[in-house]
Amino acid sequence: MSRRTILLNAVAYQSVWFATVIGAGRGLWWPGPLAALAFLALHLGAIVRDRGERRRELALVAAAVACGLVIDGVLSASGAIVFTPAAPALPAGGAPLWMLTLWGAFALTLRHSLRALTARPLLAALVGAIGGPLAYLGAARATGVLAFPDPRAMTLAMLAAGWCLALGLLALLASRHAGASPPARATLAGGAA
C-alpha cells in the first residue's frame, strides 16, 4: 500500500470526523452520514478493488457500528454521556446516528492508515483506552455535541474500558480479515517499520 493511499485514507476519515462533529454541533444530522458515504464510495472504489476485500471491509464496518451501539448506547442510556439532539437516537436513549457514522468510518482506517494496530491488538487496546476518551473530550470541548455529567472521571474510565475492548477486538477482526498474510508492519504515520 502506497503512502499516498494511506494518507488519503487518513485525510478522508478526518474529513468525516469534522463533518460529523461540526454538523452535529450545529444541529444537523446529515453532514456526517453524507461524508461517510462519500468516504465509503472512495474507499471501496479507489483503495479496495477486490470483491472479497470489499466484503471484509463492510464486515469490519458492521462490527465497529455494533461496538458503537453497545458502548455509546449504554453510556447514553445510563446518562453517563448526553449527546446533542442533532440526530435521532435509537430507541431507549441509544447512540445517535452521527456517532454510529463515526464508528463505521473509523473501521475503514483499520486495515489502511491504522494498519499498524491490526498487527498488534494489545497496542490497539492501549490506543483505544487513551485515544477513545480523548476524541470524546475533544468533540465535547470543541463543539458541545456531547456532555459528561458528573462524575466525569467515571465516564472517562468507562469510555477507556469500552474503547480498549472495542479497538482490541476490531484489530483482531481486521487482522483475521487480512487472511493468510498478516498486514505489513507500519508506523502510525504510514511508513514501513
Question: Does 193 reside within a domain?
Answer: no
Out of 12-21, 149-158, 175-184, pick the least confident. 175-184
Instruction: Work out the number of other CB atoms within 10 angstroms of the CB of residue 184.
Output: 13
Answering whether pTM is above 0.85, one says yes
Q: Which domain holds residue 76?
A: 3-177
Cα 97 to its chain centre, rounded Å, is 13
* pLDDT tens readout for residues 66-120: 999 999 999 998 889 988 765 555 555 678 888 999 999 999 999 999 999 988 9
Out of 12-21, 52-61, 87-96, pick the least confident. 87-96
Question: Does 185 reside within a domain?
Answer: no
Q: For the chain, how many structural domains are there in total?
A: 1
Question: Does 183 reside within a domain?
Answer: no
Question: Does 42 reside within a domain?
Answer: yes
pLDDT at 92: 52
Question: Does 192 reside within a domain?
Answer: no
Question: Does 184 reside within a domain?
Answer: no
